Amino acid sequence: MLRRHRHGTARLVLTAAYLRTGNLWVLSGAHILNDWSIFAVGYAGSHLPTGT
Protein backbone atom coordinates (compact mmCIF):
# COMPACT_ATOMS: atom_id res chain seq x y z
CA MET A 1 0.00 0.00 0.00
CA LEU A 2 2.82 2.40 0.83
CA ARG A 3 4.49 1.81 -2.53
CA ARG A 4 1.31 2.78 -4.38
CA HIS A 5 1.18 6.06 -2.45
CA ARG A 6 4.84 6.80 -3.21
CA HIS A 7 4.32 6.34 -6.92
CA GLY A 8 1.27 8.59 -6.85
CA THR A 9 3.26 11.32 -5.13
CA ALA A 10 6.12 10.97 -7.60
CA ARG A 11 3.70 11.20 -10.51
CA LEU A 12 2.24 14.44 -9.13
CA VAL A 13 5.68 15.98 -8.58
CA LEU A 14 6.91 15.05 -12.03
CA THR A 15 3.75 16.15 -13.81
CA ALA A 16 3.73 19.48 -11.99
CA ALA A 17 7.39 20.12 -12.83
CA TYR A 18 6.83 19.41 -16.52
CA LEU A 19 3.58 21.36 -16.80
CA ARG A 20 5.08 24.36 -15.08
CA THR A 21 8.19 24.55 -17.27
CA GLY A 22 7.66 22.30 -20.30
CA ASN A 23 11.31 21.29 -19.92
CA LEU A 24 12.42 17.65 -19.77
CA TRP A 25 15.60 18.57 -17.88
CA VAL A 26 13.48 20.02 -15.08
CA LEU A 27 11.38 16.85 -15.16
CA SER A 28 14.56 14.76 -14.79
CA GLY A 29 15.82 16.93 -11.94
CA ALA A 30 12.49 16.68 -10.14
CA HIS A 31 12.60 12.90 -10.53
CA ILE A 32 16.09 12.67 -9.06
CA LEU A 33 15.28 15.03 -6.17
CA ASN A 34 12.08 13.14 -5.37
CA ASP A 35 13.86 9.78 -5.30
CA TRP A 36 16.75 11.03 -3.19
CA SER A 37 14.48 12.83 -0.72
CA ILE A 38 12.56 9.59 -0.12
CA PHE A 39 15.85 7.74 0.28
CA ALA A 40 17.18 10.36 2.72
CA VAL A 41 14.07 10.19 4.91
CA GLY A 42 14.28 6.40 5.04
CA TYR A 43 18.00 6.48 5.77
CA ALA A 44 17.64 9.08 8.51
CA GLY A 45 14.72 7.19 10.03
CA SER A 46 16.70 3.98 10.15
CA HIS A 47 19.47 5.67 12.09
CA LEU A 48 17.37 7.14 14.87
CA PRO A 49 18.29 5.96 18.35
CA THR A 50 16.11 3.23 19.77
CA GLY A 51 14.35 3.46 23.12
CA THR A 52 16.31 2.38 26.15
Query: What are the mean pLDDT values of the chain's consecutive 10-residue runs (52 residues total)?
Result: 58 84 88 87 88 65
CA 28/CA 38 separation, integer angstroms: 16
Q: What is the pLDDT of residue 40?
A: 93
Q: What is the pLDDT of residue 5?
A: 53
CA 18/CA 31 separation, integer angstroms: 11
- Helix (H) or strand (E) segment spanning residue 38: helix 24-46
- Say which DSSP state 48 is in: S
